[in-house]
Chain A
């Protein structure tokens, strides 16, 4: 099992613990805008880029769907595939919102992932980004932001 690589060191410990406790195969922590903060289980930047873009879009769609169907946004999503399952949810550190997406198989279960994600949420709530991130809001330069965060995770030559 690979260790998480992070663009922001303060998330390394809780992310590693979530990965180990919940027996996750891979996962990405990102800003709702799609900018990656940390990842594990991925070996190339293109995959993380796809996951971030899709997670960001799915999150936006799920929130709107929740608003329309239930009057409030959906913040958590679980998809059980034949062999692998995807768990997606939000967490907060200070006032900053993050999204997490994780993949697991029969070595774990949705219940186990859910309880360890709750612990991860609590751990993150006690922490906060080391410096305020002025660029975390939608800046219009989605691709540039994504590429910069991926450079931090994999290095400029990783793609």
Chain B
């Protein structure tokens, strides 16, 4: 199980433009498996733990909104910010989270995240 999660993280993190890929507990927001964060200087603050917790929290709220609107479970969630994007896909007890650059091939990231989530569920 842990090996499969590590493989998922490795596959996603090797996509061009992916700065970090994580598997995060859906209910507790804790990191289960993560890649290293690219482009962060040694000794600089590591934002992965915070990003993971808040992304899982955000996904749970979006799921509730989607349920309330009778749209079912969200398939893919993307948060676009000034200097990059956060992509989230739910896979039962975990959520897959990637932090990507603004110019990433989003179609490829989406496809691979959905495929990985499909393998988890």
List chain A positions with a Cβ less than 8 A from chain B: 80, 106, 108-112, 114-115
List chain B positions with a Cβ less than 8 A from chain A: 24-25, 27-30, 49-50, 52-54, 56-57, 60
- Are A112 and B30 in contact (CB-based, < 8 A)? no
Q: Interface on chain B toward A: helix, strand, loop, or mixed SS?
A: helix
Closest to B50 in A: A115
- Total A-B Cβ pairs within 8 A: 33
CB distance from A114 to the nearest CB of B (A): 7
A-B contact pairs, 10 of them (CB 8 A): A109-B56, A109-B60, A111-B24, A111-B25, A111-B30, A111-B52, A111-B53, A111-B56, A112-B53, A112-B54
Q: Which residues of chain B are within 8 angstroms of A112 by Cβ–Cβ distance?
A: 29, 53-54, 57
- Are B27 and A109 in contact (CB-based, < 8 A)? yes
- Are A110 and B28 in contact (CB-based, < 8 A)? yes
- Are A108 and B28 in contact (CB-based, < 8 A)? no
- Give the most central of A80, A111, A114: most B CB within 10 Å: A111
Closest to A23 in B: B57
Q: Which residues of chain B are within 8 angstroms of A111 by Cβ–Cβ distance?
A: 24-25, 28-30, 49, 52-53, 56-57
Q: Once bound together, how far apart are the Cα atoms of A114 and B53, in whole Å? A: 9
Q: Once bound together, how far apart are the Cα atoms of A106 and B63, in whole Å? A: 13
